[in-house]
Amino acid sequence: MTESILVTGATGFIGSNLVNCLVKKRYQVSSLVRKGKSGHSKSKIITGDLTDKKIDFGNEQYDCVFHLASHTPLEKNKTILHKVNLEGTKNLFDQIKNNTKSILYVSGLGVYGETGERVVDESFSYNPNTEFVKTRIMAQKYLEKNCKEIGVDFSVVHFGDVYGSGGWFYEFLIKRLLKHTFRLPKKGDYYKGFVHVDDAVGSMISIMEKNKMNDTYNVVDSMPTKFRDFVNYTADAIGVKHPGNVPVFLAKTVLGGDLIKLLTTSMKVSNEKISKIYNFKFHSYKDGIPNVISELRNQNRLQ
Out of 6, 7, 71, 255, the residue judged to bind ligand NAP by CB under 6 A: 71
C-alpha–C-alpha distance, residues 192 and 223, integer Å = 9
What's the min distance (Å) between Cβ of 1 and ligand NAP? 25
Site residues for ligand NAP, window 5-24 (CB under 6 A)? 9-15
If the CB atoms of residues 104 and 147 are measured against ligand NAP, the closer one turns out to be 104
Q: Hey, which residues does 195 pair with through a beta bridge?
A: 162
What's the min distance (Å) between Cβ of 131 and ligand NAP? 14
Collapsed DSSP state (helix, strand, coil) of residue 47: strand
Q: What is the DSSP letter of 216?
A: E
If the CB atoms of residues 39 and 243 are measured against ligand NAP, the closer one turns out to be 39
267 binding ligand NAP? (CB under 6 A): no
202 binding ligand NAP? (CB under 6 A): no
Cα separation values, 277 from 194, 203, 212, 270, 280, Å: 18, 8, 8, 14, 10
Site residues for ligand NAP, window 121-180 (CB under 6 A)? 159, 161-162, 167-168
C-alpha–C-alpha distance, residues 135 and 157, integer Å = 16
68 binding ligand NAP? (CB under 6 A): yes
Closest alpha carbon to 50 in 66, 70, 64, 72: 70
C-alpha–C-alpha distance, residues 16 and 227, integer Å = 26
84 binding ligand NAP? (CB under 6 A): yes
Pairing state between β 194-196 and 161-163: parallel
Please compute, for residue 96, the number of CA atoms within 13 A of its CA located in the half-sphere on the CB side: 34
Number of residues that bind ligand NAP (CB under 6 A): 26
34 binding ligand NAP? (CB under 6 A): yes
Options 48-56, 114-122, 142-150, 226-234: segment touching ligand NAP (CB under 6 A): 48-56
Options 43-51, 184-192, 201-209, 291-299: segment touching ligand NAP (CB under 6 A): 43-51
37 binding ligand NAP? (CB under 6 A): yes
Cα separation values, 183 from 17, 186, 216, 246, 296, Å: 28, 10, 34, 5, 22
What's the min distance (Å) between Cβ of 88 and ligand NAP? 5
Residues that bind ligand NAP (CB under 6 A): 9-15, 34, 37, 49-51, 68-72, 84, 88, 106, 108, 159, 161-162, 167-168
